[in-house]
Every structure is written in structure tokens, then in C-alpha cells.
């Protein structure tokens, strides 16, 4: 068998066993055999298939009837997550002799039902960034893979069919594995997160809701493969709204966003700083107090979590504090952080630094939610806070890393992802 040239058309493979012209022809021939009963959805899926350069870079329409053993495993602010068995399994190869797709065995997947997503236009705005970054991250796999789109037959809400992550999110992982997750392991996890965030920012996109609940852990903790996958890219609010209302997890929201400014790549970096804090302390930020309008005000006024300076290397503390800078222009870019490689070493044993037991205030909420009620309360109950926030309003561009990102391809080449 020729592993470099297509046996059908003779053209050179674009990637391993992938011939662009033949795959595009096969996709087009198959368009008539499926539909999501919505022209916009169908067109969106078709475009991912026609632009694909590998078996991991496209999505499918997946009928709800193709899932078995559906079980609820999580509830978010505007979505519900189920685990299920996908009977067909993902496509992994095109058989040149039989001219048929070859699939892996049936596998477990996560079904994320986006409530209020019957408006397909808004839904596609939300998921396009997810699908794009998922396809771009196939080599390092730092973005949660999206297999396709389905639809709840009862509510008509759309469903993202996602890679299943049995270890849950990074907060649960750190709590359950604190002793064996040493300093070098935590730095390795941080680098994987940075790779995923840089993949997002490189496409001029913004995550908008970066927190530990959206960093999911893989099974492999050794080797060069990614230990994490970033989820919920661009899905920072209910699909039936247009993003103007404040939404998220208060401790992870940058102060300029709390003041009413738009999310930017710089606000993602602030959120990353909170992730870094939780990585090295083992404690969720501001776990000892209610997540309410008072905390929002205090954060805008400069409050940050306390760091045990005697135990954490100075280099790490310095870069972490830069991520927390109240001025978004002073924060490092994802590119800066990705290149940084001098976090220092611990001078104490792991157990003296990393906490695995802590109490969470009953008013501390670490799931994404709409926060407009607090803005309303501020305007009604505390004119002084509103006046302060208004005076501090900033005009912030997309990020302070734009110029550097423009030159990234020259340094890393096209195979960065």
C-alpha cells in the first residue's frame, strides 16, 4: 500500500491516509443521506466537512436515536450534561478498497443540552468557536473534542456531542489526587492549559468563561500527551440571549468585565491567574465568602486571594500577579505565558503547600450563572458602588497580545496545534 499517495486519484495525501479531493467528493455524495431538518445547521455541518484536513476536523449530524444508556451527570447555569453510549462510534479511517468509512467501536460520550437553543442562528454563533478550536487542537488535544450536533426530540434544544472525560474537572481531580499531583505535575497541567488558551487566542477568539469547572482531566498523566481539555469555548451565556448580561463565576471574572466592559483576551488571562492560584494552593479562590455584589466591588477595588508566599517560588508569584493586574494592558498575553519556562522549584514538601481539605462558604457558587441581578441590586441599593464602577470604566481592545500573535505562525509553523 502506498502511504503517501491516494490509490483512487493518485494525488498526495494531505495528512495520513487523507486525500482532500476524494474525501470532499465522498462528503458531498453523502449530503443527501442525512439532515438535521434545519438548513442553517445542515450548512454549518457541511462546511466543517468540506474544510476538514483530517479525520478529527469535522463534525456530523447525529440522530438522538443513536445514543443508548443516557444518564444525567451534571447541571450548569444554562445547560444539562448527560453521559451516553454512541453506538456508531467516531470515524477514524476511509477504506480505499470498500470506499466506506471505518469507525471505532461504540464509545461513551457527553451530551451537552443547551437550554433555549432552538434559535439555530444564535446556537451556531455559540458553537462555531468550539468546533473550530476543537479541530485545530487535534494534535495536542488541549480542546475538548466535539463529535457533532444532535437535538433533544422533546424540547427541540440542540445538543453538543462531546468527548467524555471520566476524571471530571480539575478541581475534583486536585481534591482527590493532591498527594500524588506534585509541583512538576501541576506546572505540566498549567502548560497544557496555556497551549489550549493560546490555540483559542491565536484564532482571535475569547473563551469568556474560563474556570476550573471548564478544565477537564484526561486519563493520561504521564508522557507528552495533554493532561487536560478546555471546554465551553464561547458558551458564556444562555443561547437565547446576546451576551450583554453579565454571566459566569464571580471569582474568575476580570474587574473590567465586572465594571461593564466586554470580555477580551486580557480578561481570559485574569481568569487564568485564578486557575493558577487554585493549581498551586488547592483552594478555590474566595471560597471563604459569599459570591455576591460585595465581592464584585472588592475585586474591582483590588482584592485578590492571599498567596502563601513562603512556599511558592517567587517567579511563579510574580507571573501570577501580572495576570491579576487591574489594568488589562499590563497583563501578559497567552503567548508570553506559553513561552515562559522558569516557574521555579518548591523549597518545601508538596503536602505543606497543596490543600486537599477546605470548607466552602454556603454563598460561594462555582457554577456559571447570570449575574444581572447583582448589577440591578447595586443600582438600587448602593449608588456609591455604581458611581465608583462608572468612574473606573475602561475602553479595552481585544488584547495586548495582538502583534505577537500575528507573528506566531512564523515562529511555530503551521503545526503549532
What's the pLDDT tens digit per position in 44-71?
999 999 988 777 788 999 999 999 999 9
Domain boundaries along the sequence of the chain: 20-25+34-163, 170-412
* Segment 159-175 mean pLDDT: 90
Please give the pLDDT value at position 402: 39
State how far the Cα of 397 lies from the Cα of 131, in Å rounded to an integer.
25
Residue corresponding to grid cell 456508531? 88
Give the pLDDT score at 76.
Answer: 73
Share of the chain above pLDDT 70, in %: 78
Closest listed residue to residue 198, CA positions, set 147, 303, 131, 268? 268
Distance CA 317, CA 349 (A): 18
Within a 10 A sphere around the Cβ of 69, how many other Cβ atoms? Answer: 9
Cα–Cα distance measured from residue 156 to residue 158, given in angstroms and rounded to the nearest whole number: 6
- The answer to whether the CB of 108 falls within 8 A of the CB of 84 is yes
**Does residue 80 have a pLDDT over 70?**
yes
User: What are the pLDDT digits (tens) for 316-373?
Assistant: 999 999 999 999 999 999 999 999 888 877 655 555 566 667 889 999 999 888 887 6
Question: At 367, is the secondary structure helix, strand, or coil?
Answer: coil
- CA torsion sign, 187 to 170 to 239 to 159? positive
Helix ranges (H only) for 282-333 are 293-300, 314-323
| CATH class of the 20-25+34-163 domain in this structure | alpha beta
Question: For the segment 112-140, what is each residue's pLDDT rounded down to a tens digit?
Answer: 998 888 877 777 876 787 777 776 665 56
CB 109 within 8 A of CB 175: no
Strand partners, 80: 75, 113
**Confidence (pLDDT) at 149:** 94
Choose which CATH entry (2.40.10.340, 3.30.9.10, 2.60.120.260, 1.10.510.10) describes domain 170-412.
1.10.510.10
For position 20, what pLDDT does the model report?
75
pTM of the model: 0.83
SS3 content of the chain, % helix, strand, coil (to 5): 40, 15, 45
Among 29-33, 57-61, 411-415, name the one with the lowest average pLDDT.
411-415
pLDDT single digits (tens) 294-307 = 999 999 999 999 98
Q: For the chain, give the mean pLDDT.
A: 80
Distance in Å from the first CA to the final CA of the chain: 29
Amino acid at each position: 500500500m502506498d502511504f503517501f499517495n491516494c490509490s483512487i486519484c493518485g494525488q498526495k495525501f494531505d495528512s495520513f491516509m487523507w486525500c482532500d479531493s476524494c474525501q470532499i467528493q465522498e462528503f458531498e455524495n453523502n449530503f443527501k443521506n442525512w439532515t438535521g431538518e434545519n438548513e442553517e445547521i445542515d450548512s454549518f455541518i457541511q462546511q466543517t466537512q468540506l474544510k476538514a484536513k483530517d479525520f478529527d476536523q469535522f463534525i456530523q449530524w447525529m440522530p438522538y436515536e443513536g445514543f443508548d444508556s443516557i444518564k444525567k451527570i451534571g447541571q450548569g447555569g444554562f445547560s444539562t450534561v448527560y453521559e451516553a453510549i454512541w453506538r456508531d462510534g467516531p470515524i477514524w479511517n476511509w477504506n480505499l478498497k470498500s470506499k466506506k468509512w471505518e469507525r471505532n467501536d461504540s464509545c461513551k460520550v457527553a451530551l451537552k443540552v443547551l437550554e433555549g437553543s432552538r434559535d439555530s442562528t444564535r446556537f451556531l454563533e455559540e458553537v462555531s468557536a468550539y468546533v473550530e478550536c476543537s479541530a485545530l487542537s487535534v494534535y495536542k488535544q488541549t480542546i475538548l473534542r466535539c463529535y457533532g450536533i444532535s437535538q433533544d426530540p422533546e424540547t427541540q434544544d440542540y445538543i453538543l456531542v462531546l468527548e467524555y472525560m471520566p476524571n471530571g474537572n480539575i478541581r475534583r481531580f486536585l481534591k482527590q489526587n493532591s498527594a500524588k499531583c506534585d509541583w512538576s505535575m501541576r506546572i505540566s497541567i498549567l502548560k497544557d492549559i496555556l497551549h489550549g488558551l493560546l490555540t483559542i487566542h491565536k484564532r482571535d477568539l475569547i473563551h469568556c468563561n474560563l474556570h476550573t469547572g471548564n478544565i477537564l482531566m484526561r486519563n493520561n498523566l504521564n508522557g507528552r500527551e495533554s493532561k487536560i481539555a478546555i471546554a465551553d469555548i464561547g458558551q458564556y451565556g444562555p443561547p437565547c440571549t446576546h451576551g450583554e448580561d453579565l454571566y459566569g463565576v464571580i471569582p474568575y471574572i476580570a474587574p473590567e468585565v465586572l465594571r461593564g466592559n466586554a470580555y477580551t483576551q486580557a480578561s481570559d488571562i485574569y481568569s487564568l491567574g485564578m486557575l493558577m492560584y487554585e493549581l498551586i494552593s488547592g483552594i478555590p479562590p474566595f471560597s471563604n465568602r459569599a459570591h455576591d455584589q460585595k465581592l464584585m466591588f472588592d475585586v474591582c477595588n483590588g482584592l485578590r486571594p492571599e498567596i502563601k508566599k513562603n512556599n511558592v517560588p517567587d517567579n511563579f508569584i510574580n507571573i501570577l500577579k501580572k495576570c491579576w493586574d487591574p489594568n488589562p494592558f499590563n497583563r501578559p498575553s497567552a503567548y508570553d505565558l506559553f513561552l515562559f519556562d522558569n516557574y521555579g522549584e518548591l523549597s518545601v514538601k508538596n503536602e505543606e503547600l497543596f490543600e486537599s481539605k477546605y470548607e466552602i462558604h454556603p454563598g460561594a457558587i462555582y457554577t456559571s450563572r447570570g449575574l444581572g441581578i447583582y448589577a440591578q441590586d447595586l443600582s438600587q441599593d448602593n449608588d456609591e458602588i455604581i458611581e465608583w464602577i462608572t468612574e473606573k470604566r475602561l475602553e479595552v481592545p481585544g488584547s495586548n497580545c495582538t502583534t505577537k500573535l500575528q507573528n506566531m505562525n512564523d515562529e511555530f509553523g503551521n503545526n503549532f496545534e
